[in-house]
Amino acid sequence: MAALDSLLAPLDAATFLREHHQRRVHQWQTDSPLYHQLRDLFTPPGLESLLPDLTDILVWFRSRDGVPRSIAASPAQAWSLHQAGMTLYAKIDPGRLPAMAPVVELGREAARELGQSGEHFQIGLFASCAGAHTAPHFDSADGLTLH
């Protein structure tokens, strides 16, 4: 649980995951080296270099009539659209990205703590630009989100 504990301090992982399951929201800032490693990986310029190894890349945006939409995009298209202010979502295949090892370990730790097998966890990337707004929506799965 070292990876989770380092990100979640001052909470311990067991308390955080129990309260997450109970829909209690926690927000805090951390100086964890793991957090900074992940932040650097998922923000420019690290994000641009990750895109070719991601799968099922979607770009989310609002149409002119205000309806939330998404389109599939290539890595190059996704980067250009993200630079224009649009939000990206993609699946991460840890086998294709050795840099994802810390994220994979976080998923495994969360699975063990929740008494689940790792197959119930999927790693995804949700990349919004500063000031972006996500329309109210329903996710069909629970998420553990690092901002």
**Does 32 fall in a domain?**
yes
> Over 70: is that where the pLDDT of 101 sits?
yes
**Does 37 fall in a domain?**
yes
Say how many domains are in the chain: 1
> Which pLDDT score, from 0 to 100, does residue 75 have?
93
Are 101 and 67 a contacting pair, CB within 8 Å? Answer: no
Are 87 and 126 a contacting pair, CB within 8 Å? Answer: yes
pLDDT tens per residue, range 67-78: 888 999 999 999
- Summary mean pLDDT of the chain: 78
Q: What is the pTM of this model?
A: 0.67
**Does 146 fall in a domain?**
no
> Over 70: is that where the pLDDT of 116 sits?
yes
Half-sphere exposure of 121 (CA within 13 A, CB side): 20
**Does 145 fall in a domain?**
no
Question: Could you list the residue range(s) of the whole structural domain that residue 75 is in?
Answer: 2-127
β partners of residue 61: 69
